[in-house]
Amino acid sequence: MGLLLLATTINYMDRVTLANASVRVTQEFGLSEQQYGNLELAFGWAFALGSLLFGFMADRFRIYWLYPCVLAGWSVMGMMSGWTTDYSGLLICRMLLGFFEAGHWPCALKTTFALLNEKDRTMGNSILQSGASIGAVITPQVMKMLMTNDVGSWRSAFVVVGATGLLWVLIWLCLLRPRDLEITTERQKDSPKAALSTLVLSRNFWALALLITGTQTVWHMYRVWLMKFLQTGRGYQESAALDFNSLYFISTDVGCFLAGLISLWLMKKPTLNPHQIRRWVYAGACLLTSLSLLIPFLNKGWLLLSVLLMIGAGALALFPCYYSFVQELSSHHVGRLTGLLSMWVWAVTSPLHKAFGWLADTSGSYDIGLVLAGVAPWLGVVAMKYLWTTKSPETESLKT
């Protein structure tokens, strides 16, 4: 789990370098907000394609070899992003970064499924996902040290952050052996197996498709646009915005760990099963993200920053529940289902960055977009209530 946490940390360090340098990149290349949104759009659609490919590969090939390959791939693309000289080159690098980064999640969830039982998976997935916060906390401070007043100084930060992934590959290959993850095969023997098409056409799959749409919307809208909101929207200096960005992601980490700890505590209640507990934790996180409704009424100051911290805590607390729901769907198709759902959500939500940029250009404000993103996770609550069925698609397929 420590290696998975570190992998997620590196994944997000490479991802958020652009968001932390967004103002500098926009100014250097002379980009509009919509053009900046196109960088995230390219990243997201490539992530969708990579999710489909690596999701199927994760169920077919040994994770021991696949995982370090995709991690090395996105690390090199992160480094190359710092060597680009124009907008087109940066666009291509961010696109390939997204493609390789998509392989992290099918590989990671296959690993937690193999090594953890059902009661421990929400906490294990909390540890896995918390790496996103750690990476997002570290990156602003790394960039703050490396970026100077010189034009283009943001590039060295991209190269340094990207190089850390290559070190992870060496650690993985030294500490693990292929047989360490073969427990998955043993766990699958006692469970029925449904065709992938049966699962994809089931109500449960589409409940999760809607749930992850709302979950991803709030997380990535704030990840991508928070620095611009603070600097351009509320007038914070770059240094202060970078410091708060680290604090924001510390808050998301706290929320993520609390989701796991609360789940473990509620497991002691004999009247609740693991699935019910995850739904309650998810709904509680939605209450926190809905504080975005207050943003238009808050000016620069401690109250605005406090609300943002609580939104961040709720945003990341949503993910461990989602990952555990996916693992409930099937013991045989964890990688494929993760990949298909990731492809769906990145394809659907990535254009929202372009729409967000257009809205910011036309209205002169980031507030409306952030409000809508904060209430989006309630889509998951509604979907789970009206679509999710307690009947297992795999069990029904076996009966048939």
DSSP state letters, 368-390: HHHHHHHHTTHHHHHHHHHT--S
Residue matched to tokens 């047989």: 179
Hey, where are the domains in the chain?
A: 2-399
Would you state the pLDDT for residue 190? 47
What are the C-alpha distances in Å from 337 to residues 81, 105, 109, 197, 291? 30, 11, 10, 10, 32
**pLDDT at 67 > cutoff 60:** yes
Would you state the pLDDT for residue 398? 44
**pLDDT at 397 > cutoff 60:** no
Q: Which of the four pLDDT bands, split at 50, 70 and 90, describes residue 400?
A: very low
The pair of three-digit structure tokens given for residue 313, joined into one six-digit string: 């805590």
Q: What is the pTM of this model?
A: 0.73
**pLDDT at 352 > cutoff 70:** yes
Q: In this prediction, what percent of the chain has a pLDDT beyond 70?
A: 93
Sign for the pseudo-dihedral over CA of 177, 181, 183, 186:
negative
**pLDDT at 130 > cutoff 80:** no
Q: What angle do CA 203, 205, 208 make, to 5 degrees?
A: 110
Q: Which of the four pLDDT bands, split at 50, 70 and 90, describes residue 186?
A: very low
**pLDDT at 300 > cutoff 70:** yes
Task: For residues 182-211, give the mean pLDDT.
Answer: 74
Would you state the pLDDT for residue 255? 92
Would you state the pLDDT for residue 151? 61
**pLDDT at 61 > cutoff 70:** yes
2-399 CATH choice from 3.30.2350.10, 1.20.1250.20, 1.10.3720.10, 3.60.15.10: 1.20.1250.20
Rounded distance between C-alpha atoms, residue 119 and residue 142, angstroms: 37
Rounded to the nearest integer, the mean pLDDT of the chain is: 85
Least confident of 242-256, 269-283, 320-334: 320-334
Give the orientation angle of helix 274-289 with respect to helix 302-329, to 10 degrees: 150
- HSE at residue 266, side-chain half, CA atoms within 13 A, is 19
pLDDT, tens digit, 9 for 90 and up, residues 138-170: 888 888 788 776 766 788 888 988 898 999 999
Which region holds residue 36: left if phi is over 0, alpha if psi is between -120 and 50, else beta? alpha
Higher-confidence position of 381 and 110: 381
Exposure string (b/e) for 376-392, b if CB count within 10 Å is 16 or more? bbebbbebbeebbeeeb
Task: For residues 105-115, give the mean pLDDT.
Answer: 82
Residue by residue, DSSP assigns 211-248 as HHHHHHHHHHHHHHHHHHIIIIIT---HHHHHHHHHHH
Higher-confidence position of 346 and 173: 173
